[in-house]
Structure 1
Amino acid sequence: MFKPAFAAVLVASCCSAAANTTEHTNLEHISIYANRTATPQQDVLASVTVLERDDIVARQANDLPALLAQLPGINLSRDGGRGQNSSVYIRGGNTGHTLVIIDGVRSGSATLGYKTLSMLPLELIERIEVVRGPRAAWYGADALSGVIAITTRKAQGTELNANVGSYGQLGADVSVSEQVGDLAVRATAGYSQADGFNVRKDLDPDRDGYDQRFAKLAADYQTSFGLLRAQFDINSGFYQFDTGWGTEDQADTLNRTYLLGWEHQLGQWQHQAQLSRILDDDTVYGPDSSSPFVTERDEFNYQTSTAITNNLNWLGGVNWYSESVGRSSVNYVEDSRINRALFTGLNFKQDNVQLDGSVRRDLTTQYAGNNTWQLAAGYWFTDAWQLRISRGAAFKAPTFNDLYYPGEGSSNPDLAPERTLSDEVAISYRAANGSVQLAWFENDVDNLIQLDANYMPQNIEQAKISGIELAIQADVAGIEQSFAYSWTDTENTLTGLRLARRPEHTINWRAGHSWNKFSAFVTADYQSNTYQGQYAVNEYLGGFTLWGIGTSYTVSSALTLRAKVDNLFDKNYYTNDRYTTAGTNFGLSVSYTPQ
């Protein structure tokens, strides 16, 4: 068990180190998605975490869900190991309350209503930005609890990577780029697989593994009338799983994205436009049947921004997308919808005061008009200390599955959209060698969609989510440390019960040190006991602490070796009722960048 005294020592040492200096230096990270424009992270009036490619590689996470679970305000529920379904919860919201944006494109299945992250390869990711708190005033439906914005690989030169690990894990990828005058071309391709392990010992006595192939081809062309971009991504694979429903226990998956973009700076005005098309194909099958779920989304975005005065900036734009069910195992009563939106916002900053405001109007073919808004204010007491407050409204329309799948008796076409009103108050301190942020948040959810005893979606009149986040980064005697603690209190106000799979307490700690060509790190991740729902076989799952270690060695400027061990003490734990998780497991990887 994670000792509270140990946690207190970590917090005290980190705070002490962060307070050793009052010199304020700008953090290197830039937020791109919190305000839809590039902004220094310390000037964003929201809780934001940014991971660049070097950060992602250094953490040596098994997959994207495991990486996200190390960040403040996020917890994870897994149906097994790599490749199996994983649910990511930001600040206690449903999985579908987090909008996933990939290269500026709204992503995810139109039938599920969210993006499944278990088969999105880390090898294809250049940058991750997580915004905690509602952002519907900028992005519309789904951004109730937060936004996960992913930028895919933008290789410079040539890079080769390979990895092996426990449960038959192996993979390799290559990235190349070439600059010819004003034309830049980049490509990434890779392969990954694992034999896996049996994720439900009470069901099929088989291993549940996966197999995956992915590629990206992109080109940028600089012209006198702006930067033109074109991109094509494909991610296909196969994964196995265990379920108590029917005999379908494996799936083929395919995701394709086509993107055309334009950016131009004309005087004080900055223009951006993007047209995209996404195909999401997940066909589940077994020895007796198959169930295809194929959805498509076409989207157009345009935005423009300018500085009205030295202290006041304006941004506005339009967003249009059409999503449809191309093929499915059932006939949906409605299988397409169109959303049209206008959005605008202002940012004011003078002396020690900063104000943000944004508003959006969405017109959806099924649910008419929906207004969302966000207001935020920040005040700097000194160059290091800042207080900020914010309030925002958001909404999410029911998914096609909520409304119509699998049919009468298990679907609910009368569902109303979910709506939230969220507040946040935070105080932060930034110094040359670290930062501290303490945030309180509260989220009132009207018409929260949950399954009843018959597994039919129903609107809960109201749910309440509140909590506290403490995030610390500090260099303590040459040891770089990050510490995050989250307390999350959730309640279904109709029943008085907690919302399922949201632990009340989580702690994530990481410490690392470098010696010349050698570096090493240790991690500890704690989660308190978790309510699984009143219809689960095991209503509560026990808490646990997982330890991990890792190291890297720079053989030369071109070659780096890495090794890590997760679940170091072979903890037997669960995050989803009866679904087995990985025991002690190791990974080895090598990166080669020809000079």
Structure 2
Amino acid sequence: MSYSCLSETVRGASRRRALLLALALLPPTLAAQIESDPDASGGGRAISDLDPVVVTATRTAETVDATLAPVSVITRAEIERTQAQSTLGLLRGLPGVVLSNAGGPGRVTELYLRGANPNQVLFLVDGVKVGSATTGQTEFQHLPVSQIERIEVVRGPRSSLYGSEAAGGVVQIFTRRGGGPLTAFGEVTTGRYETAGISGGLRGGGEHGRFSLSGNFDQTEGFNACSGRGAPYFDGCGTDEPDADGYENQGVSASAGYDFADRASVDLSFLSVDSEVEFDGAFQNKARNRQQVAAANVLVRPLDAWDIRITAGRSWDEQRNFKDDAFASRFASRFETRRDTLSVQNDVAIGAEHLVTVGVDYVHDAVGASVAYAEDGRDNVGVFGQYQGWFGPAALKASLRHDDNEQFGSHVTGDVVLGYDLRPNLRATAAYGTAFTAPTFNDLYFPSDPFFAGGNPDLDPEQSRSAEVGLAGRIAALDWSLNLYQMDIDDLITLVPPAYGAENIDEARIRGLEGALAGEVLATEVRAYLTLLDPLNRSAGPDHGKLLPRRPEQTFRLDLDRSFGAIGVGGTLFAAGRRFDDAANAVRLDGYTLLDLRASYAFSDALRVEASVENVFDEEYETVAYYNQPGRGLYLTLRYGRN
């Protein structure tokens, strides 16, 4: 994957700074499109000679090598090269990224970014906040890989730009984009566990307009998701159902955009995904889910140095739960949540060295369910400002935000980052930031029952402070980076057994070291990522000094890919250290190592066949206690179309 290191070409030149500011004034949807469509000019603003573009770290477009934030980027070309079957395969092993999965494709999956809780990681789809208002998490495991154009992962606190839920960082997913001549694309996949999938679409555009339309259908018979036991133990899933648990996923996405000369543009997008997942459970064992996201991004340019961006969106998620194909009558059987967002952002360039951003965000969350919540809606209004400046070899980025939450009042968060070019190919950075995370509706109001304590309306928002130092450089054709950080969290929300009531932990401290290396050696693409994590519970009590659950202390990923004419070969090695499934560290999950191999043959520029073997050594492992993971599997894909 591309990684945010630096390039000698970006050092010091005022002309380059002017180009970077021009880039920052592009609409995010167009900026994200440039890498995948080198001919995209944004109404005459041709900048495709710059390095890959990111738009998530500062809410303005900037080249990967220029950003001061630790960012990982997954492009469409890399998605296809790695032959990943799911978003888990794409994200697993990236710096700072830890995943837990309860039983295979489509099952509950949690992402811990820099050790932060899953509800402290903000997900965006095409610039729109997504995620369940009840759980506070995004079921990104259902987002089909075939519908994704690129992914940006920004690590570290971003509440000063995005508000609640961004304490650990931000993951932004962009759906397929249009542009260029009319092109068809598609793929057919088959593999172990009676896996089968088909996807395809059309994309194109003219001088000013662009569109894309695509769809997918994927299914697998699966394997036994859980090896738990039933009453009286209630280990794992609380039942013993040794059957294959299947999964189906079907989705559609569409996008369209138009540039009105150099002064205005509009981009619209829509994503809808329906899924059905079987699992093992004492009271429910099947769920039908729907996720939808609609986004509208408008850019107006009153002056050459002033952009006004307006983003409006809505995300929905629905879930219906069943027991043996009958609608579940016990516990919560239906959930519907909706998130409406509106953002107005002003970007003003002052000369070639300074960029000022001022904006306001509005978010409304609403909940509907088969159980009654004491509160079923809330609003949040956030006002934010950001300054970006370049001073010779130094760079400064500072942001401040005030959020007015209907339930939890005012919260002020800030972030400052300093960068200094020690040499043309060596940059040092230092950062400090604060963040907050509002409790979810489940944390606060989930009704109690004979088995679970339910919500706790007396919870306080989580507060965090993060400090970080980093070095990034280039040696020959290899980019490298090291980031050392510490995050201190007050009032961390956790579920406390045996009744799993929500409570605040007084203090948690997370320290980490992330390393990345990417480039080319002997005509071979090399990408290596290392994360060392020390996530400790620092609260008084029996769990003081214990590791926070489900976070391994070490992860490592190595990707190697090489082409021999029409033939491509590669592999991914991933290793994770031990983790614990509970706060008391009584349930240990052993470390494991996975090896995936892949190969492809191109019949032409547009047609190729691919083969991959996942988990070559058939490793048995768990990332959630009692929940199984896929064994060795062979997968074949026939792919048509260019990236």
TM-score, normalising length from structure 1? 0.93
Paired residues of 1:373 and 1:393 also in contact (CA < 8 A) = yes
Relative to 1, partners in 2 of residues 1:481 and 1:343: Cα closer, same or farther, differing over 3 Å? same
Paired residues of 2:276 and 2:289 also in contact (CA < 8 A) = yes
Pair 1:470 & 2:508 matched: no
Relative to 1, partners in 2 of residues 1:534 and 1:151: Cα closer, same or farther, differing over 3 Å? closer
Paired residues of 1:23 and 1:431 also in contact (CA < 8 A) = no
How big is each residue's C-alpha offset from its partner over 1:228-283, in whole Å with a ceiling of 9 and x where there is no partner?
2222221112111123xx32111111112222221133321112111112211011
Q: What is the correspondence of 1:150-165 to structure 2 with a 5 Å cutoff?
A: 150-156=173-179, 157-165=183-191
Aligned to 1:390: 431
Cα distance in 1 for partners of 2:493, 2:583 equals 16
Aligned to 2:356: 314
Residue 36 of structure 1 and its aligned partner are, at CA, apart by 0.5
Aligned to 1:3: none
Q: What is the correspondence of 1:63-78 to structure 2 with a 5 Å cutoff?
A: 63-78=86-101
* Equivalent AA in structure 1 for residue 537 of structure 2: N
How big is each residue's C-alpha offset from its partner over 1:307-354, in whole Å with a ceiling of 9 and x where there is no partner?
1132111011110011101x2121100110001111110011021100
Residue 432 of structure 1 and its aligned partner are, at CA, apart by 5.2
Paired residues of 1:240 and 1:249 also in contact (CA < 8 A) = yes
Paired residues of 1:155 and 1:175 also in contact (CA < 8 A) = no
* Equivalent AA in structure 1 for residue 613 of structure 2: V
Pair 1:90 & 2:128 matched: no
Paired residues of 1:65 and 1:88 also in contact (CA < 8 A) = no
Cα distance in 2 for partners of 1:364, 1:228 equals 30
Cα distance in 1 for partners of 2:95, 2:312 equals 33
* Matched position secondary structure for 1:118: helix
* Matched position secondary structure for 1:123: helix
Cα distance in 2 for partners of 1:44, 1:110 equals 31
Relative to 1, partners in 2 of residues 1:431 and 1:304: Cα closer, same or farther, differing over 3 Å? farther
Pair 1:228 & 2:266 matched: yes
Cα distance in 1 for partners of 2:256, 2:601 equals 33
How big is each residue's C-alpha offset from its partner over 1:446-485, in whole Å with a ceiling of 9 and x where there is no partner?
0000111220010000000001111111322222211111
Aligned to 2:418: 377
Cα distance in 2 for partners of 1:438, 1:364 equals 36
Paired residues of 1:31 and 1:41 also in contact (CA < 8 A) = yes
Residue 587 of structure 1 and its aligned partner are, at CA, apart by 1.3
Pair 1:561 & 2:609 matched: yes
* Matched position secondary structure for 2:161: helix
Report which stretch shifted further, 255-264 or 335-344: 255-264
How big is each residue's C-alpha offset from its partner over 1:2-31, in whole Å with a ceiling of 9 and x where there is no partner?
xxxxxxxxxxxxxxxx9xxx9835683211
Residue 185 of structure 1 and its aligned partner are, at CA, apart by 2.7
* Equivalent AA in structure 2 for residue 307 of structure 1: A
Residue 72 of structure 1 and its aligned partner are, at CA, apart by 1.3
Q: What is the correspondence of 1:304-453 to structure 2 with a 5 Å cutoff?
A: 304-325=346-367, 327-407=368-448, 409-431=453-475, 433-453=477-497
Aligned to 1:213: 250
* Matched position secondary structure for 2:65: helix
Alignment counterpart, residue 238 of structure 1, candidates 276, 279, 282: 276
* Equivalent AA in structure 2 for residue 493 of structure 1: R
Structure 1 runs, 4 residues or longer, greater than 6 Å off: none
Aligned to 2:56: 33
Aligned to 1:253: 289
Paired residues of 2:144 and 2:216 also in contact (CA < 8 A) = no
Cα distance in 2 for partners of 1:491, 1:411 equals 25
Alignment counterpart, residue 175 of structure 1, candidates 182, 194, 201: 201
Pair 1:200 & 2:226 matched: yes
Report which stretch shifted further, 299-308 or 406-415: 406-415
Aligned to 1:483: 528
Residue 380 of structure 1 and its aligned partner are, at CA, apart by 0.2
Identity %: 31
Pair 1:284 & 2:321 matched: yes
* Equivalent AA in structure 1 for residue 174 of structure 2: T
* Matched position secondary structure for 1:381: strand
Report which stretch shifted further, 159-168 or 459-468: 159-168
Relative to 1, partners in 2 of residues 1:155 and 1:161: Cα closer, same or farther, differing over 3 Å? farther
Relative to 1, partners in 2 of residues 1:98 and 1:358: Cα closer, same or farther, differing over 3 Å? same
Residue 431 of structure 1 and its aligned partner are, at CA, apart by 4.5
Aligned to 2:301: 265
Aligned to 2:85: 62
How big is each residue's C-alpha offset from its partner over 1:180-230, in whole Å with a ceiling of 9 and x where there is no partner?
664433211111111110011342121111111111122212325511222
Cα distance in 2 for partners of 1:132, 1:306 equals 26
* Matched position secondary structure for 1:188: strand
Cα distance in 2 for partners of 1:131, 1:445 equals 19
Pair 1:115 & 2:138 matched: yes
Paired residues of 2:127 and 2:295 also in contact (CA < 8 A) = no
Cα distance in 2 for partners of 1:57, 1:385 equals 32
Cα distance in 2 for partners of 1:511, 1:396 equals 38
Alignment counterpart, residue 531 of structure 1, candidates 556, 571, 580: 580
* Equivalent AA in structure 1 for residue 289 of structure 2: T
Cα distance in 2 for partners of 1:236, 1:372 equals 37
* Equivalent AA in structure 1 for residue 509 of structure 2: K
* Equivalent AA in structure 2 for residue 28 of structure 1: D
Report which stretch shifted further, 80-89 or 180-189: 180-189
Aligned to 1:191: 217
Residue 593 of structure 1 and its aligned partner are, at CA, apart by 2.3
Aligned to 1:459: 504
* Equivalent AA in structure 1 for residue 496 of structure 2: D
* Matched position secondary structure for 1:42: coil
* Equivalent AA in structure 2 for residue 559 of structure 1: L
Aligned to 2:232: none
Paired residues of 1:23 and 1:432 also in contact (CA < 8 A) = no
* Matched position secondary structure for 1:144: coil
Paired residues of 1:163 and 1:590 also in contact (CA < 8 A) = yes
* Matched position secondary structure for 2:80: helix
Cα distance in 1 for partners of 2:476, 2:266 equals 38
Aligned to 2:628: 580
Report which stretch shifted further, 450-459 or 224-233: 224-233
* Structure 2: segments with no counterpart, 5+ residues: 11-49, 229-239
How big is each residue's C-alpha offset from its partner over 1:527-570, in whole Å with a ceiling of 9 and x where there is no partner?
1111111468x610111111111111111122011111111011
Alignment size in residue pairs: 571
Aligned to 1:52: 75
Cα distance in 2 for partners of 1:339, 1:112 equals 17
How big is each residue's C-alpha offset from its partner over 1:39-78, in whole Å with a ceiling of 9 and x where there is no partner?
1112211110111110111111120022101311111111
Paired residues of 1:502 and 1:530 also in contact (CA < 8 A) = yes
Paired residues of 1:25 and 1:432 also in contact (CA < 8 A) = no
* Equivalent AA in structure 2 for residue 279 of structure 1: W
Aligned to 2:152: 129
Paired residues of 2:596 and 2:616 also in contact (CA < 8 A) = yes
Paired residues of 1:176 and 1:187 also in contact (CA < 8 A) = yes
Relative to 1, partners in 2 of residues 1:581 and 1:386: Cα closer, same or farther, differing over 3 Å? same
Relative to 1, partners in 2 of residues 1:101 and 1:458: Cα closer, same or farther, differing over 3 Å? same
* Matched position secondary structure for 1:138: helix
